[in-house]
Structure 1
């Protein structure tokens, strides 16, 4: 498995047709994982998905890759390509601005995009107190949060 020390991501850029195709292979799983993550975190720490607390599951995942994948980064690995994507959640536009989820997918080598795999969602347990416990939780990012490697 890749780590931030082992890969070199390209610069953030608008999605290419190939990136759109790759994310569309797993869009249903991305949506399912977003809903599953919110339900999981709501049981343990509702602050994680608090920006979308007033949305239904259907509203939360009412996005299309063609319209809402706004930024990507990728890096080659020995076992394929790691691709990060910033996906807009159209129903979120609050006092912090638009809302985005960061998604990591993997495209194994030699088979086109047919075998693209969903890997994970970025759920940020950001600042920590003196005892190492998180003091902030954020699954829905703002536009200015950079799309960086994550290994959740």
Structure 2
């Protein structure tokens, strides 16, 4: 299993055609995962998806990979390639700016893009003594795309 210590990611960059293809393959699974994550978090901590409050599931998941996958990073592991993607959610524009989700997918070796697997969404949950807690599934434009293992 990859960790921050065991994977070296390339620098953030605009997606190439192979990344667009990989994210397009997992798109139906990704949209279901977004809806499920919001539903699950809303049960116990609605702050996680608060930037999407008032949006329908359809509006939240109405993005186009070719236009809205704005940045990727990837790194090779013994079991394939981990690809991180920053996807713009066009329906989210608020006082924090545009909204983005960070997605992790996996492309096993030697088979092309048809076996790409959705892995997870980045949900930032931090609690530090003396500071306000943070719950954030929708990131800002300046949130760096970094390895996460959720």
Give TM-score, length-normalised by structure 2: 0.97
- Measured in 2, the distance between the counterparts of 1:74 and 1:121 equals 15
- Measured in 1, the distance between the counterparts of 2:149 and 2:106 equals 12
Quick check: 1:128–1:136 contact (8 Å CA) kept in 2? Answer: no
The aligned counterpart of 2:31 is 31
Question: How many Å apart are 1:134 and its aligned residue?
Answer: 7.7
The aligned counterpart of 1:149 is 147
Question: How many Å apart are 1:128 and its aligned residue?
Answer: 2.1
The aligned counterpart of 1:108 is 108
Q: Deviations over 1:117-144 (max 9, x none)?
A: 00000000024236xx981100000000
Gaps of 5+ in 2: none
Quick check: 1:125–1:134 contact (8 Å CA) kept in 2? Answer: no
- Measured in 2, the distance between the counterparts of 1:60 and 1:146 equals 21
The aligned counterpart of 2:118 is 118
Q: Deviations over 1:98-129 (max 9, x none)?
A: 00000000000000000000000000002423
The aligned counterpart of 1:46 is 46
Q: Give the match's secondary structure for 1:101.
A: strand
Q: Give the match's secondary structure for 2:125.
A: coil
- Measured in 2, the distance between the counterparts of 1:3 and 1:48 equals 24
Compare the two structures and name the one with the higher strand fraction: 2
